[in-house]
Structure 1
Amino acid sequence: MPKIVDHENQKEIIAGAAWRVIQKNGIEGATVRKIAQESGLSPSALRHYFNSQAQLLEFAMKLVVEHVEQRFLNMNIMVDRITLACAKEILLNLMPMDEERILEMEVWLSLSVKALNEPALKKISNDTYNLIFKAILNMLKQLSEVHLIKPNLNLELEAQRLHVLIDGLSLHRINCPDKITIEKVDLILEEYLNELSNI
């Protein structure tokens, strides 16, 4: 009886292998041969799941987004229960605070550079930017509705400021983890939210 292979699961395994290769060898070193080797497949077997390296990298980038979205779903935030502490947890979930999220961020940054010249990756990058901005804006609106932040704030501007802040912290956390520690990130976010606070 032939072995039944879960096609989508196998694609995720291959994409995970691509992440590890990108982390170890950079985006230029993420060849089909190396990714196939990392995933325990032959290059011809890998092509059964992805027709090209570009298609594989596109899937790998989408998988980062899916992981972030899943973390948000797992948090299951209710509008009437949001607090400043909860808002900080939402933001921390977007940042490289553990090994899994460090890997995701390193892969995302590598693919984002490649996206400058790859239209399919550029679209994913732009869509994700808009998705995260909307999530941050929605969070601020929830905080405003329960009167936890100052009235009359320009929420769209604050969402942009906060988006830039978490992007900057994430980049520095990847590049200088000894200086931008988990504790430092936590403190900076807490101080920012305290500045917005209406309490």
Structure 2
Amino acid sequence: MTTFIKIFDTILTADKDASRKAVREVRKFLYRTHSDRNDYDDIKNIIDSAPGEYAEISEDWRQENFVIAVSVIYYLHDKESQPDFLFSWLLHLLRHKNGNIRHAAVRMIEHELGPLTYHLRCPGKKSSFHDFSPEQADYIIARLFEGLHILMNDSWKPMYKKYKYIESLPSGTYKSAQMILSHLEDDCGNEYIRHLEELLRQK
């Protein structure tokens, strides 16, 4: 019987071809007609243990397979009250030389931006999809904002000055961080971003 645990075991232990095929199987298995509670428990356990599992992987291609597979099921995590529970790992992944890994990390971080910025986009309205406070969201956003700027400072190259648009930037850590920051700016608004910039200058 196929399970998410077995699929991820293949990704983590099988040869290159079988591991790659297992990544495709994740999406197929996720969207099959029938599923049960055990599947979702497996998904939550896989996501929770992802940073530790990733740390044990030595092959670049297997790292890519694993991160992409995790990104497919990431939205089913049960950490709605802790949207930043994997941010330190995801920000680490943004430094990876593999563009597919960076792209997967961008997708997972951006998945959390909607809930995190809800209080800014819909002031005064309570969301039924998460239970963290606006103050908690502000704190998480500020830490993410700082983390993105650290990444951009560390990966900055003078050649980037000639690029007017983010999409024109060469693929890399700087571009990935800019993509998330742009999304964050759209959701937060200019005034809030200026507030975050001021907080950053005070550090």
TM-score (norm 2): 0.38
Higher relative CO (CA 8 A, sep ≥ 6), structure 1 or 2? 1
TM-score relative to the length of structure 1: 0.38
Rg larger in 1 or in 2? 1
